[in-house]
Amino acid sequence: MSHAIDDLELYVLGALPRDAERVVADHLTVCVECLTEARALESTVWALQDALPAPPPPAALRDRILAAADRPAAAGLPALPGRHVSASTYALAAAVLALAVLSVGALRQVDTLRAEIDESRAIGLRVSQPGKTWYMSGIDRWQGIGGMLYAPQGSPAFVVFHDLAPAPQGQIYTIWLVDAEGRWVRGSSFAAGEGRVRMVDVGVPVAGFDRCAVTLETRAEGKREGPIVMQSRFY
């Protein structure tokens, strides 16, 4: 059976002509491999959308705040002697405080969004390279998470994980490659951070191996001891 790999990216993005879209949709109902690939691509697309910054607040809102700060005190009110503070002063102080709070929060949000966007762009550039891919599915209590292993031509292999929670205290995630004789070769270890998508280099060449997996370990070196979180088979 032929596969629809070449059309999956356009299908997930909704960029295929209607007839071609029907063909791919029909194919996905009978091909588990292409369906798994499509789900992984869909997770990446949603993550990239979530990383895009929200539109800025309307300029009219800022203008209204500044206008309130400049508005004179209400006419006809008697001025009190001594430590009298006018309504316009209160308005100005409130406006300045509001803008200051908004600015600090906005700057923090912008910094976070910039980091997420930079990472998303880096992921996008790397996954666009031609090469082979394998999807690792979470097993047992880790069902619902996963990772797509990419092996670009002429470049180091890497994994794009989705929905991977931070490792428990004192443990780390470790990538493994397994050969036909059942020998496990250790790759990179990482703790995983917050966020829907995380990219990690495999750390070793994938040529000559039959499977890939991720485990939870308590040490950054040595043989495999922890439980398998996700795994796949090379085809």
pLDDT digits (tens, 9 = 90+) for 32-70: 777 777 777 666 655 555 544 545 555 665 565 556 555
- In whole angstroms, what is the distance from residue 194 CA to residue 175 CA? 19
Which token pair is 63?
């203008």
Strand order in the sheet with 211-217: 184-190, 172-178, 211-217, 228-233, 131-138, 146-152, 158-162, 197-201
pLDDT digits (tens, 9 = 90+) for 187-202: 999 987 656 678 899 9
SS3 149: strand
How much is the pLDDT for 116? 57
Strands 172-178 and 131-138, bridge-based pairing: unpaired
- Is residue 72's pLDDT more than 60? no
- In whole angstroms, what is the distance from residue 103 CA to residue 180 CA? 57
Q: Name the percent of the chain lying above pLDDT 70.
A: 55
The partner residues of 160 in beta bridges, in order of sequence, read 148, 199
How much is the pLDDT for 144? 87
How much is the pLDDT for 65? 53
Choose the weakest-confidence range: 99-108, 140-149, 176-185.
99-108
How much is the pLDDT for 58? 58
How much is the pLDDT for 83? 45
